[in-house]
């Protein structure tokens, strides 16, 4: 638990060191703002597992602002973000929190019950960074990647986009959203994060971390599979930091 507290403390420290906007910044870049009407309304949430605990990320949309909340044992916070700019062609929203930090959000795949969101805290150059930041790639994993939020009153669950039996040159695995069979060990799911392309499972006292990426061939994929004794170290491992992929072909 002390490690969890330390991780949150470091995260809060880094957040507190983020660039803070000024009136001069607003005036300098005001001509670059786009004042399209913001079309989204209501409360959207996304739940995920972290350190064996459920966290809930919530965005509530208003015409001129977004209220953000994070609920959970590991970390909780809430703050409003005032709209500065919204570009309807790019689906790009820029806002400023009450403590003068600048955020940029992109939206896609709107349905009656869900909305996929990419959110970035502009730590280095604030408003200038937000205005220059372009829409992330579909498979981007930075800033926690793209995540699907659900409109209040609806229920949806994320699941792995592949399943079945796959073989590499040295190994065969059986995959489903709820479990992996790897080296003849049945591993039960602890969490799945589509934005980070990360699946985590547990077998006895060990944890299995799996990152995935698709290949050009529809019947194969690339996996990075590794065992961990420390769950907190596992969750600190990010997609962009890993090296070494193994190609698995569907049987």
One domain for residues 82 and 179: no
Tell me the mean pLDDT in the region 77-88.
Answer: 97
Boundary residue ending a domain (151, 179, 194): 151
Residues in the chain: 251
158 in a structural domain: no
Do 143 and 175 have their domain in common? no
Please check whether residues 188 and 143 belong to one and the same domain.
no
Among residues 151, 176, 203, which one ends one of the domains? 151
Cα–Cα dist 144/47, whole Å: 13
| Positive/negative CA dihedral, 57, 110, 101, 233 | positive
pLDDT for the residue numbered 15: 47
7 in a structural domain: no
Based on the fold, state whether residues 145 and 197 are members of the same structural domain: no
1 vs 52: CA distance, rounded Å: 11
Same domain for 144 and 230? no
Choice among 18-22, 196-200, 237-241, 245-249 with the minimum mean pLDDT: 18-22
**How many structural domains comprise the chain?**
2
Q: Give the pLDDT confidence of 105-156 residue by residue, as tens digits.
A: 999 999 999 999 999 999 999 999 999 999 999 889 999 899 999 999 998 7
What mean pLDDT, rounded, does the chain reach?
88
pLDDT in tens, 165-208: 999 999 999 999 889 999 899 999 888 888 889 999 999 999 99
In this structure, is residue 103 part of a structural domain?
Answer: yes
Report if residue 3 sits inside a domain.
no
Instruction: Kindly state whether residue 199 falls inside one of the protein's structural domains.
Output: yes
Range of the domain at 176: 164-250
């Amino acid at each position: 638990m002390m490690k969890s507290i330390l991780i949150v403390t470091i995260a809060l420290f880094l957040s507190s060191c983020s660039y803070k906007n000024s009136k001069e910044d607003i005036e300098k870049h005001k001509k670059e703002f786009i004042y399209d009407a913001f079309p989204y309304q209501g409360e959207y949430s996304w739940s995920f597992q972290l350190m064996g605990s459920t966290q809930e990320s919530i965005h509530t949309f208003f015409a001129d602002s977004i209220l953000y909340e994070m609920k959970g044992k590991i970390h909780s916070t809430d703050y409003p973000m005032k709209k500065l700019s919204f570009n309807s062609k790019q689906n790009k929203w820029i806002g400023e929190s009450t403590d003068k930090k600048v955020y940029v959000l992109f939206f896609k795949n709107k349905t009656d019950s869900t909305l996929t969101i990419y959110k970035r805290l502009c730590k280095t150059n604030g408003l200038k960074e937000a205005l220059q930041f372009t829409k992330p790639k579909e498979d981007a994993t930075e800033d926690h990647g793209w995540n699907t939020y659900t409109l209040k009153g609806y229920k949806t669950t994320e699941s792995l986009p592949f399943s079945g039996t796959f073989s590499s040159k040295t190994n065969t695995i059986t995959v489903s959203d709820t479990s992996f069979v790897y080296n003849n060990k049945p591993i039960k799911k602890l969490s799945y994060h589509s934005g980070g392309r990360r699946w985590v499972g547990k077998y006895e006292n060990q944890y299995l971390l799996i990152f995935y990426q698709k290949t050009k061939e529809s019947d194969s994929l690339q996996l990075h599979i590794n065992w961990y004794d420390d769950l907190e170290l596992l969750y600190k491992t990010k997609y962009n930091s890993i090296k070494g992929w193994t190609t698995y072909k569907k049987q």
